Chains A and B, each alone.
Chain A
């Protein structure tokens, strides 16, 4: 199975901060990488697919990028509604696997 390793596991930030979350795949997954946001008690929400493509309706402050097997989710200016846990997920091959998550908290 492909292992997805996220870092950091948690971070604290202030409104307006630039936030970066990294996800590393254990082998090549091309750009078949998705990012999700999850708030407590809610289902995950797709933010970005194919490493860098913004899902419809998602604010443009969210961006994704890829360098080899390393993927990055960046929030350019953190908003109050962005405090949540973020997960990466590969759809290159089954079993689809998720990273362990990055919790973005309030500083």
Chain B
């Protein structure tokens, strides 16, 4: 069964740090891009960051650049998000998502986040 399981969320004070983990199973983790997406209470999803299969490319939303770092360990089938200098507005459920590049012999169809974890809750509050 293809599965993603996040962990590491919790309550942290403003300015603090947290490291989220995502354990993958049931697919060849090292072949896929991976993403982090968050969802603040009552709001829609917000893409946070993604990382290429070999870690050679990483992208971030502006609001987390310089504070968050996405990484992966393909030997451990794991994805990470190191979050520093946390702010109240970072409060959200954080999801990891497998990110598939769709293509065939004639065309490319872009990326879709086709497998998601159950999410881990991050609360930033004093």
Give the Cβ gap from A84 to chain B, nearest Cβ, in Å. 13
Q: With A44-B116, A45-B116 in contact, is A50–B47 under 8 Å at CB?
A: no
Assess whether B47 is in contact with A44, with CB atoms less than 8 Å apart: no
| B15 proximity list for chain A (CB < 8 A) | none
Give the Cβ gap from A74 to chain B, nearest Cβ, in Å. 19
Residues 55-103 (chain A) with a chain B CB within 8 angstroms:
55, 87, 89, 91-92, 94-101
Binds A, one of B23-31, B67-75, B84-92, B106-114: B106-114
Assess whether A91 is in contact with B119, with CB atoms less than 8 Å apart: no
Contact among A50, A94, A95, A98 for B44, CB-based, below 8 A: A98
A46 within 8 A of B: yes
Query: Who on chain A is nearest to B108 by CB?
Result: A50
Assess whether A98 is in contact with B112, with CB atoms less than 8 Å apart: no
CA distance A101 to B113 in the complex (A): 17
Assess whether B114 is in contact with A50, with CB atoms less than 8 Å apart: no
Assess whether B111 is in contact with A98, with CB atoms less than 8 Å apart: no
A22 within 8 A of B: no
Assess whether A87 is in contact with B45, with CB atoms less than 8 Å apart: yes
Binding site for B on A (CB under 8 A): 1, 30-32, 34, 36, 38, 43-46, 49-50, 53, 55, 87, 89, 91-92, 94-101
6 nearest A-B residue pairs (beta carbon): A50-B109, A43-B116, A49-B112, A32-B110, A96-B47, A94-B59
5 contacts between A and B (CB under 8 A): A49-B114, A50-B112, A53-B109, A87-B44, A98-B46
